[in-house]
Structure 1
Amino acid sequence: MLTRVERLCEPGRVLARQRQQLILEEVRRNGGATVSALVEMLHVSDMTVRRDLSVLADRGLLDKVHGGATAITERSTDEPGFAVKSSRQRLEKEAIAARAARFVTPGSAVGISAGTTTWALARHLCGVPGLTIVTNSIPVADALHTMGRADQTVVLTGGMRTPSDALVGPFANAALQSVHLDLVFLGVHGMDNQAGFTTPNITEADTHRALIAAGRRLVVLADHSKWETVGISSMAPLSHADVLITDDGLSPEAAETLSGEVGELIIVPATGAAEDLQQ
């Protein structure tokens, strides 16, 4: 029986995005990989592998070194800026956001946490009438302000700004304690069977806990790369998610674990999001 890599790398089948995902998985699994090893694994040219490594390095997903690449090892307190995070897993995030938007009905009250996947969601909600949206994300509020409908109400919590453009701290927490929301969409830095949903910023964790508490239903948006990534502070256990939306890059083992913890696990294919990103 062919392995996953062998199936994807059959002549005429592999796409650049799939090949780059295989490279990233190999680098993360082993801590690094040489160009020659990747050429042999993928059955492509040296030039193709080097080009893929450059693309992945430009997206901040690995470090390109002489003769290959090494994995980026993030500490539990490392917090990439919004621009860096928005370049990672773009297709996956777009697919997740499009699926999440289907949970929102006109006239509802929605909480949206800071994050690049939730920012993608906000763009999908710009045409939904009558929404009241409460957020601690500057990019989310800006997207809805510039592209949203006139009958939408956008409430930005205020607070101290983090490197990922979240507003956190006592002002944000106080604002969230006085609202009651139909749905809360939560973006996360990582998710783990033991640590739950985590963030690298302790103050942000407090604010996102307040946002979670304000909602009747919690929908977590997390692409497959977030699995077994652990930030310094837990925001909620996996079991608190009524719905978790992720992408088909998630391993079967991780999917099995998550299915037993969250209320509903939705796995979306990332390939259909390319056209939306080009618009």
Structure 2
Amino acid sequence: MLAAQRRGRILSELSRDGTVRVTDLVELLGVSDMTVRRDLVALHREGLLEKVHGGALAVAEPSSSEPGFAAKSVQRRREKEAIAAAAAELVHPGMAIAVSAGTTTHALTGHLARIPDLTVVTNSVWVADVLHRTGDPTTSVLLTGGLRTPSDALVGPVAVASLRSLHVDAFFMGVHGMDVRAGFSTPNLLESETNRAMIERSRRLIVCVDSSKWGVVGLSSMAGLSAAAVLVTDSGLPAQASGALADHVGELVVVDPIDDDEDELDDAGRVREDA
């Protein structure tokens, strides 16, 4: 298992209980005590957890905190890949879609690259790069301009202006948090404004979000839960949250994380077939 995969698994375990123990992680990951401690130190330095004697604690983030793309990309990779695969089944050749920035939508892009004759509007530098390098030659990509955020989204007045005359069949949106009262939210005010513009220009909103985002509230809300025609998430979602989401969203799709811990993802966010 690669270091990034181990650390993503550690963060996944931490998000469930708020605490992890070195001894439990050694057994779970099948690695040495020293390797686990090294991973905890690395994650502590990135501000993703608080290292304590014998384990680690979750770090409570303020509503305005916005981790960078690299920090988020190591978290819950198995869940994100499963979500991406399920969301990609909603895309068909010839569609015009919008894709937001984020690590879950980045994983989705690896699947979109295999679908011909798409028109993809995005404010994500990473999404545009994947489709440019690995996408089907019949796919057209429109990258908005704008200011670049820590999560590599292009936002602000330039991005919003570029979206005003467009119309897409569906908008695939990743979110920082989801909550019954706050809806779908982000810590970045300009990103919230840009995503709202994409929601307005799309026929359907499809939210791609892992279960750890339940109960998280960012500084700015982008839409209420009922705005989502489809929400794709993973089976780590608490039963109470599943019930609440089912009551609000048009369709709730729940998937199990990919089974093989040894799976490696390529640069496009897809499971490598030669791994």
Relative to the length of structure 2, the TM-score reads: 0.85
> Which of 136, 147, 159 is the equivalent residue of 1:172?
159
Q: Is the 8 A contact 1:24 1:62 kept in 2?
A: no
Closer/same/farther in 2, CA of residues 132 and 72 from structure 1, 3 Å limit: same
> Residue 108 of structure 1: which of 95, 106, 109 is its match?
95
Query: Aligned to 1:202, which of 174, 182, 189?
Result: 189
1:146 to 114, 123, 133: 133
Change in Cα spacing, 1:52 to 1:254, as seen in structure 2 (3 Å) is farther
Which among 206, 220, 227 is matched to residue 233 of structure 1?
220
Alignment equivalent of 1:62, drawn from 38, 45, 49:
49
Contact in 1 for aligned 2:178/2:216 (Cα 8 Å): yes
- SS of 2:126 mapped into structure 1: helix
Aligned twin of 2:16: 25
Shift of 1:150: 1.5
Structure 1 residue 265 displacement after superposition: 0.5
How far is the alpha carbon of 1:165 from its aligned partner?
A: 0.3
Alpha-carbon distance between aligned partners in 1 of 2:50 and 2:83, rounded to the nearest angstrom: 27
Structure 1 stretch displaced more, 138-147 or 52-61: 52-61
SS at the partner of 2:254? Answer: strand
Counterpart residue type for residue 246 of structure 2: S
For residues 20-79 of structure 1, give each alpha carbon's deviation from its aligned partner in whole angstroms, at most 9, with x where no partner exists: 7445422x2xxx5665xx75x9998xx867755654664564222233312111111111
Structure 1 CA distance, aligned partners of 2:195 and 2:218?
A: 14
* 191-200 vs 51-60, greater mean Cα deviation: 51-60
* Residue 221 (structure 1) aligned to one of 188, 204, 208: 208
| Equivalent in the alignment of 2:3 | none
Structure 1 length-normalised TM: 0.83
What is the alpha-carbon distance in structure 1 between the residues aligned to residue 11 and residue 252 of structure 2? 26
Q: State the identity %.
A: 50
- Residue 81 of structure 1: how far off its partner (Å): 0.6
Q: Work out the CA distance in 2 between the residues paired with 1:118 and 1:262.
A: 19
Rounded Cα–Cα distance in structure 1 between residues aligned with 2:27 and 2:191: 44
Higher deviation after alignment, 58-67 or 96-105: 58-67
- For 1:156 and 1:43, how far apart are their aligned partners in 2? 45
Give the letter aligned to residue 154 of structure 1.
V
Residue 253 (structure 1) shift: 1.0
Q: Distance in 2 between matches of 1:172 and 1:17?
A: 31
Can you give the 5+ residue segments of structure 1 that lack an aligned partner in the other structure?
1-15
The answer on 1:99 being equivalent to 2:93 is: no
Deviations 1:188-247 (A, max 9, x none): 000011100000000110000000111001100000010001100000000000000000
Q: Which residue identity lines up with residue 138 of structure 2 in the other structure?
A: D
Q: Is the 8 A contact 2:11 2:75 kept in 1?
A: no
Distance 2:153 2:12 in 1: 29
Q: Are 2:14 and 2:58, in contact at CA under 8 Å, matched by a contact in 1?
A: no
Letter in 2 for 1:207: T
CA-based RMSD: 2.7
- Distance in 1, Cα, partners of 2:14 & 2:67: 22
Could you tell me which runs of 5 or more consecutive residues in structure 2 were left unpaired when the two chains were aligned: 1-6, 266-270
- TM alignment of 1:80-99, pairs within 5 A: 80-99=67-86
Q: Does residue 185 of the first structure (1) align with residue 172 of the second (2)?
A: yes
**Partner AA of 2:229 in structure 1:** D
| Alpha-carbon distance between aligned partners in 2 of 1:195 and 1:54, rounded to the nearest angstrom | 37
Query: Quick one: which amino acid aligns to residue 263 of structure 1?
Result: G
Greater RCO (Cα-Cα under 8 Å, separation 6 or more): 2
- Residue in structure 1 matched with residue 256 of structure 2 by the alignment: 269
For 1:111, give the aligned amino acid: A
- Which amino acid in the other structure matches residue 206 of structure 1? E
